[in-house]
Amino acid sequence: MKRPFFVLLTLTLALLTACGEPASGNTSADESSKTATTPAVTPELTTPNTPVTTAPQPMTTAPITSNVPETEPPETTDTPTTEAPPVTEPPAVPEDLPEMGPAPSVLEYADRKILYTLDETLLMTADGTVVTDLRAGHAVLAVEQIDETVTILYRGWLCVLDVDQLTGDVPASAVETQNTMGGIYYPAGAKLIAVDAGHQGKAMKEKEPLGPGSTELKAMLSSGTAGVSTRIAERELNLQVSLLLRDELISRGYSVMMIRETHEVTLSNAQRAQIANAYGADAFVRVHANGSTNPDARGAMTICQTAKNPYNGELYEESYALSECMLESYCAATGIKLNNVWATDTMTGINWAQIPVTIMEMGYMSNAEEDELMATTAFRKNAAIGMADGLDAFFEWENAN
């Protein structure tokens, strides 16, 4: 087979965005936005083997399990693809997450489905360019299958795997994790994003502490708002966008834990944060939409704690950066007006978090124009892409700080 090449990658992420709990039209602005610089990407997956210089070289790490006989000398070129354009420059090994490739977002593939690798395997494009390596049980987004060849979209790179390398069955370890901690778990790269689609089928009027050890009590979960024009329930909007975000994040190599994927759950704000904590998520993104008595109120905001928060004030800087990155990227991707990051200690689901957290208030469902916009598929895809861009930017920021 044709030996693997490594592409030289240069990351150009530029988008940033953010925010959670029902925040009824608040606009007590903090600062606004910091441009996330773009240094290294987070080291997420282990880098495949060493750079190939000129001479063909056998793969030293994960053998491609199926369509390449292992005994075959590496020089032979029986790559199933027809094109395989020769790479002219000596490729370099990506040290971090690959830069986003040229393919459209995974969300553009309607027939995509989440599969899992059966064994550790190199992920490469049809011309043999190695993009990364995946451990066994790694969740991937399959976008097409022709005969025995499955196309995977990974960070914008269209890669191919043999159908025998994949399974639709959730890995046993992930099932065990879910049974222990709750949530729906998609193991992939080293960074884990906890996604909480705000609200659920029924509100929970009982009260719970505002933060760990607090004597102040707050209703466990509100019912959320609804579209003034579309009548769409906020819980539904939040869930649909969160599911798109899940797919986009998996295709970018992130591990994802979904707090819920249906409306039929009974989880308070504090419980949701505790599930995210239990997973040790690297970021906790709470997806919400806003409502206001002022029908003209519009725009997006993100929410985090203050530096003086008695429960997790030490996470302020990270949560603020996350909120800022999410807000900027989200607004850039959707065209929604950028309002502000709101730092407040009144949100139970933030106060219970022991990891960087943000509430993404996507827009105002009380504003007819934004309500109708947020109901469209195109908008929702852009929202998910913008939030994923924001997470990429946040981890770049984290790497640089």
Shorter beta-carbon distance to Zn ion: residue 225 or 251: 225
Of 94 and 198, nearer to Zn ion (C-beta) is 198
Within 10-49, the residues that bind Zn ion by CB under 5 A are 22
CA 18 to chain CA centroid, nearest Å: 12
Task: Spell out the residues 6+ positions from residue 27 whose beta carbon is closer than 8 angstroms to its own.
Answer: 301, 339, 340, 342
What minimum distance in Å lies between the beta carbon of 182 and Zn ion?
A: 20
The length of the chain in residues reads 401
Stretch that binds Zn ion, among 106-114, 157-165, 181-189, 195-203 (CB under 5 A): 195-203
Rg of the Cα trace of the chain?
22
Site for Zn ion in 283-322 (CB under 5 A): 288
Residue (120 or 236) nearer to Zn ion, CB: 236
For residue 72, give the 3-state DSSP assignment.
coil
Contact window for Zn ion (CB under 5 A) among 168-176, 178-186, 192-200, 314-322 = 192-200
- Residue span 215-234 as binding mask against Zn ion, x where in contact by CB under 5 A, dash where not: ---------x----------
Residue 338: which of 374, 300, 365, 369 has the closest Cα?
Answer: 300
Residue 22 or 187: which CB sits closer to Zn ion?
A: 22
In the window 114-143, what residues touch Zn ion (CB under 5 A)?
A: none
Contacts of 32 (CB under 8 A, 6+ apart): 324, 338, 340, 341
3-class DSSP assignment, residue 213: coil
> Counting contacts by CB under 5 A, is residue 2 touching Zn ion?
no
Q: What are the residues facing 287 on neighbouring strands?
A: 197, 360
Segment interacting with Zn ion, rule: CB under 5 A, options 142-150, 194-202, 317-325, 351-359: 194-202
**What CA–CA distance (Å, rounded) separates 229 from 367?**
8
Q: What DSSP line would sit under 329-362, residue for residue?
A: HHHHHH---EEEEEE-S--HHHHT-SS-EEEEEE
Chain residues binding Zn ion by CB under 5 A are 22, 198, 224, 288
